[in-house]
Amino acid sequence: MYAFTPSAEQEALRQEIVDFATAHLNGGEELRDREQEFSREWWVAAGRIGLPGLCIPEAYGGRGLDPLSTLLALEALGYSCRDNGLNFALSAHLLACAAPLWLFGSEGLKKAYLPGLCRGELVAANAMTEPSSGSDAFRMQTVAVEKGDAFRISGSKSFVSNGPVADGVLLYAATDPARGFLGGISAFWLDRRLHEYKAGEPLRKMGLRSCPLSELFFDNMLVDSSFLVGRTGRGAMIFNRSMEWERACLGGCHLGNMQRLLEMATQLVRDQLAGGIPRHERQSASFALADMQARLESVRLLAYSAAWKMGEGKNVTREAAMAKLAVSELYKKLTLEIATLFGAAGLAPGEVERSQRDAVSSTIYSGASEMQKSIIAQTMGL
Amino acid sequence: MDTIKGKVRDFLVGELNLPISQEELKDDTPLLSSRLIDSISALLLVEFLEKQYGIEFKPHEVSHDNLDSLDLIAAFVEDKQGGHA
Ligand SMILES: Cc1cc2nc3c(=O)[nH]c(=O)nc-3n(C[C@H](O)[C@H](O)[C@H](O)COP(=O)(O)OP(=O)(O)OC[C@H]3O[C@@H](n4cnc5c(N)ncnc54)[C@H](O)[C@@H]3O)c2cc1C
């Protein structure tokens, strides 16, 4: 059984990230949210302590963290960096792009791209969803036709996080559309400077506005076989593995955000009590906060246990889906409940209001909640 | 043959937690076509077989024809190891 206390290294890691983010990754988030603005400058700053490469081995420029330490690091980031869009952009880059490149890419691709991805010099995006395939992602229309030592890729992708600013893209395309999930999908690494694709305008959206999303368009784009990630037909496996990393670890940002909001709301009620409001008059708020603390702790433990099991090299299909489902559903509810405690102030532009908007999409990306339930049900033989 | 089936049975029931006991999982129990194994588990099974037996599935080999029962899996692995496939 695993221990429930973080190791000394994990404590030190948490403190390092909290100190760094508090000092260098806060300020201006309201403006970036309003303007839908991605900040390269902050991305580079995050690279100074290796946030974009937390779980990538040190040999490739990363910090070499196991999944549980990665989760704890992202929780520290979510707790101390108020820009949830930046936190999401970093996590998607790390877990759905850099991690699968490290796990499945050729040595050549890893050496060429991972150090830049880990140090904050490069931004990555992963492109799976299409206008006509979301939850049923493997019914994609984007096709890659092999011609000698290269592929010709045509199609389009939608809702690509970091899409407009990415230097590298992990693209999934059908190499054998009829086979679909079982052997029909392949993964490619695209280099913005080498491969001719177009990124659409950043989409307007309600939350995570400092992380730009866009469509990507491929018109008979030529990609050399050396940019294939893994072998032909391995795309589903690669995508599945990257989603397991996301489901197990990305929730760390949400856990951290929830903890910070909970502490703010707790302080608000404490101040009211200190200001002379009788305790019995604030009991409903105290009970609500106590209930939130208990629910937060229970999903936190679920996430920790999934990440721990993943680090043990065990199959975590069910555990990662359960953690993703529980953390994201709570995130959406808790941000709203906390805002309620702030009254009208919870609606004014600011952290409490922004977090509600940022939380909404957490039950959609990395597989919507219904998809997580479907995965869990399948592992139960249903 | 028996050891391949035994190891795969252990993996399916012990590691992938298929909702079936070792005893109930017969050599000819349909795996994919009965939906006992879902698509994600099928991919994990392929990864396991490749690592365990040092074989490589070609894209068209990741199919029901080779994965739908312990009998088919063992035959496929043996073929690959014997260099026939
Ligand atoms: C902020 C954000 C960032 C994203 N980033 C990326 C990215 O970087 N790369 C990328 O490729 N994609 C990205 N996506 C896309 C995301 O993966 C998809 O939105 C998601 O997979 C759902 O697909 P969809 O939006 O087409 O919804 P749909 O699949 O159309 O689903 C709509 C609703 O129907 C439900 N539903 C669908 N099928 C079933 C079913 N069989 N049973 C029960 N209910 C079902 C869903 O759960 C959902 O509630 C992002 C999305 C968001 C919101």
**% pLDDT > 70, chain A:** 99
A318 touches B: beta carbon within 8 Å: yes
Do residues A219 and A330 both lie within one domain?
Answer: no
Q: Hey, what are A104's tokens?
A: 């499945």
Q: Provide the pLDDT for residue B20.
A: 87
CB spacing of B59 vs A375 below 8 angstroms: no
Give the up-direction half-sphere exposure of residue A318: CA atoms within 13 A in the CB hemisphere. 14
Do residues A115 and A129 both lie within one domain?
Answer: no
B16 touches A: beta carbon within 8 Å: yes
Do residues A258 and A369 both lie within one domain?
Answer: yes
The answer to whether residue A3 is domain-embedded is no
A4, A6, A298, A305 from A1: Cα distances, Å: 9, 14, 17, 10
Do residues A117 and A152 both lie within one domain?
Answer: no
A265, A269, A280, A302 from A290: Cα distances, Å: 11, 12, 15, 19
| Å between A176 CA and nearest CA of chain B | 9
Do residues A165 and A211 both lie within one domain?
Answer: yes
Partners of residue A265 on adjacent β-strands: none
Q: Which of A52-66, A101-115, A265-279 has the lowest mean pLDDT?
A: A265-279
Helices A251-274 and A67-80, interaxial angle, to 10°?
40
Q: Hey, what are A1's tokens?
A: 């059984």
CATH code of the domain containing A246: 1.20.140.10
Do residues A264 and A353 both lie within one domain?
Answer: yes
**Residue-wise pLDDT tens digits, B13-49:** 988 888 888 999 999 999 998 888 888 889 899 999 9
Do residues A176 and A210 both lie within one domain?
Answer: yes
Q: Provide the pLDDT for residue B59.
A: 86
What are the pocket residues of ligand 1 if the criterion is a CB atom closer than 6 Å to any ligand atom?
A 92, 125-129, 134-135, 159-161, 208, 213, 361, 364-365, 368, 370-371
Q: What is the DSSP letter of A96?
A: I
Indicate if the pLDDT at residue A275 is higher than 80: yes
Indicate if the pLDDT at residue B85 is higher than 80: no
State the distance from the centre of ligand 1 to the C-alpha of A321, rounded, in angstroms.
Answer: 15
Q: What is the mean pLDDT of chain A?
A: 96
CB spacing of A237 vs B42 below 8 angstroms: no
Q: What domain range is A99 assigned to?
A: 8-123
Q: A196 catalytic, yes or no?
A: no
List the domain boundaries for chain B. Answer: 2-81
For B38, other C-beta atoms within 10 Å of its C-beta total 19
- Ligand 1 pocket test target in A33, A129, A171 with most atoms within 8 Å of CB: A129
A55, A216, A276 from A163: Cα distances, Å: 22, 7, 52
Exactly one of A75, A130, A244, A246 is catalytic; which is it?
A: A246
pLDDT band, very low/low/confident/very high, at A181 (cuts 50, 70, 90): confident
**% pLDDT > 90, chain A:** 92
Question: Average pLDDT for residues A290-295, to the nearest whole number?
Answer: 98
Q: Chain B residue closest to A238 (CA)? A: B43
Q: How far apart are CA A123 and CA A40, in angstroms?
A: 9
Return the sign of the alpha-carbon dihedral for residues A129, A134, A136, A140. Answer: negative
Q: Provide the pLDDT for residue B54.
A: 94
Q: Provide the pLDDT for residue B1.
A: 47
Do residues A82 and A148 both lie within one domain?
Answer: no
Q: Which of A87-91, A232-236, A295-299 has the lowest mean pLDDT?
A: A232-236
Burial A312-332 (b: 16+ CB within 10 A, else e): eeebbbbbbbbbbbbbbbbbb
Q: How far apart are CA A95 and CA A262, in angstroms?
A: 27
Type and span of the H or E element at A268: helix A251-274
Do residues A94 and A198 both lie within one domain?
Answer: no
**% pLDDT > 70, chain B:** 94
Q: Chain B residue closest to A314 (CA)? A: B15
Q: Provide the pLDDT for residue A2.
A: 63
ipTM: 0.79
Q: Provide the pLDDT for residue A280.
A: 87
Higher pLDDT, B14 or A89: A89
CB spacing of A236 vs B63 below 8 angstroms: no
Last residue of some domain: A182, A199, A234?
A234
Phi, psi of B84 (to 5 degrees): -85, -25
State the distance from the centre of ligand 1 to the C-alpha of A127, rounded, in angstroms.
Answer: 13
Q: Provide the pLDDT for residue A221.
A: 98
Q: Provide the pLDDT for residue B84.
A: 54
Do residues A101 and A12 both lie within one domain?
Answer: yes
Q: Chain A residue closest to B46 (CA)? A: A237
Indicate if the pLDDT at residue A223 is higher than 80: yes
Q: Provide the pLDDT for residue A279.
A: 87
Q: Which of A30-34, A109-113, A208-212, B33-37 has the lowest mean pLDDT?
A: B33-37
Do residues A373 and A257 both lie within one domain?
Answer: yes
Q: Provide the pLDDT for residue A74.
A: 98
The answer to whether residue A2 is domain-embedded is no
A82, A182, A228, A270, B55 from B60: Cα distances, Å: 48, 8, 17, 64, 14
Last residue of some domain: A66, A91, A123?
A123
Q: Provide the pLDDT for residue B17.
A: 82
Q: How far apart are CA A255 and CA A326, in angstroms?
A: 11
Q: Chain B residue closest to A374 (CA)? A: B38
Last residue of some domain: A123, A140, A164?
A123
Indicate if the pLDDT at residue A1 is higher than 70: no
The answer to whether residue A156 is domain-embedded is yes
The answer to whether residue A1 is domain-embedded is no
pLDDT band, very low/low/confident/very high, at A180 (cuts 50, 70, 90): confident
- Could you list the beta-strand ranges (E) of A64-201: 124-127, 143-147, 150-161, 168-174, 185-191, 197-199
Q: Provide the pLDDT for residue A5.
A: 87
Q: Provide the pLDDT for residue B2.
A: 60
Do residues A198 and A108 both lie within one domain?
Answer: no
Q: How far apart are CA A93 and CA A242, in angstroms?
A: 11
**Residue-wise pLDDT tens digits, A304-349:** 999 999 999 988 999 999 999 999 999 999 999 999 999 999 999 9
Q: Whose CA is nearest to atom 33 of ligand 1?
A: A368
B43 touches A: beta carbon within 8 Å: yes
The answer to whether residue A193 is domain-embedded is yes
Probe site for chain B from A372, A378, A382 (most B CB atoms < 10 A):
A378
Question: Average pLDDT for residues A279-304, to the nearest whole number?
Answer: 95
Q: How far apart are CA A307 and CA A99, in angstroms?
A: 14
CB spacing of B16 vs A315 below 8 angstroms: yes
User: B2-81: what fold?
Assistant: 1.10.1200
Q: Whose CA is nearest to atom 24 of ligand 1?
A: A134
A336 touches A358 (CB < 8 A): no
Of A56, A170, A183, nearest to A116 by C-alpha is A56
State the distance from the centre of ligand 1 to the C-alpha of B72, rounded, in angstroms.
Answer: 35
CATH code of the domain containing A181: 2.40.110.10
Q: How many domains does chain A have?
A: 3
